[in-house]
Chain A
Amino acid sequence: QVQLVQSGAEVKTPGSSVKVSCKASGGAFSNYAISWVRQAPGQGLEWVGRLIPVLGKSIYAQSLQGRVAITADESTRTVYMELSGLRFEDTAIYYCARFGYMDVWGEGTTVTVSS
């Protein structure tokens, strides 16, 4: 049974960075394309990006290009999503999920950007 466990809630100031982790248990981690999605309060889902292990790269939403980075540490079965230059509008729940079509989800990490 694959499970994704995310790091805890974060409160950050504008302009700073946040790094959210997503640790996988079960399954063949090296084959996972881990996606990241965020949801601002009361809003819909926004795709953030996806790690593509077979290509050795990550792809990102154009709106976040240059501010977001998704990386992986195979030794700890952990994928990271780092968002820099934080703005108030980056306040959201950040989810990791397995594969492009997201069949298994983490529980979400609340990131609050506040001065």
Chain B
Amino acid sequence: DIQMTQSPSSLSASVGDSVTITCRASQNIDSWLAWYQQKPGKVPKLLVYKASSLHSGVPSRFSGSGSGTEFTLTISNLQPDDFATYFCHQYNSYSGTFGQGTKVDFK
């Protein structure tokens, strides 16, 4: 299976900050990368697919970039609703793997 290494595992930030989460794939996955947000006790929500395409209804302060093996999720102007755990996920034709998750909490 392809391994996904996500960093950092947690970060503390304030409202208005810009934060970046990184995911590294153990082999080339082109742009088959998605990002999800999950709050405690809730179902994960899709934010970004195909590395940089914003899912319908997701605020434009979320953005994804990268291809091949290096990917980032950036949240600009962090809002109170953004404090949650974020997961990257590779979904190529033959497998799927999640990163370990990044918990974003209040500084």
Given A61-B96, A62-B1, A101-B49, verify A47-B44 contact (CB < 8 Å). Answer: no
Q: Is the CB of A105 within 8 A of B43?
A: yes
Q: How large is the interface on B (under 10, 10 to 19, 20 to 34, 35 or more residues)?
A: 20 to 34
Contact of A35 among B87, B94, B96, B101 (CB under 8 A): B96
Q: Is the CB of A95 within 8 A of B95?
A: no
CB-CB under 8 A from B46, the residues of chain A are 101-103
Is B98 part of the binding interface, using a Cβ–Cβ cutoff of 8 Å? Answer: yes
Q: How large is the interface on A (under 10, 10 to 19, 20 to 34, 35 or more residues)?
A: 20 to 34
CB-CB under 8 A from A2, the residues of chain B are none
Q: Is the CB of B95 within 8 A of A59?
A: yes
Given A47-B89, A103-B49, verify A61-B95 contact (CB < 8 Å). Answer: yes
Given A44-B100, A61-B1, A107-B43, verify A102-B89 contact (CB < 8 Å). Answer: yes
Given A47-B98, A50-B96, verify A100-B32 contact (CB < 8 Å). Answer: yes
Chain A residue at smallest Cβ distance from B45? A105
Seen from chain B, the residues whose Cβ lies within 8 Å of a Cβ on chain A are 1, 32, 34, 36, 38, 43-46, 49-50, 55, 87, 89, 91, 94-101
Is A45 part of the binding interface, using a Cβ–Cβ cutoff of 8 Å? Answer: yes
What are 15 residue pairs bridging A and B, where the CB atoms are less than 8 Å apart in the complex?
Answer: A35-B91, A35-B96, A44-B100, A45-B44, A45-B87, A45-B89, A45-B98, A46-B98, A47-B97, A61-B95, A95-B43, A102-B44, A105-B43, A105-B45, A106-B43
Chain B residue at smallest Cβ distance from A98? B46
Q: What sequence of 0s and 1s flags, for each residue 11-55 of chain A, a beta carbon within 8 Å of any chain B beta carbon?
A: 000000000000000000000000101000000111101100000
Chain B residue at smallest Cβ distance from A104? B46
Q: How far is the CA of A59 from the CA of B2 in the complex (A)?
A: 14
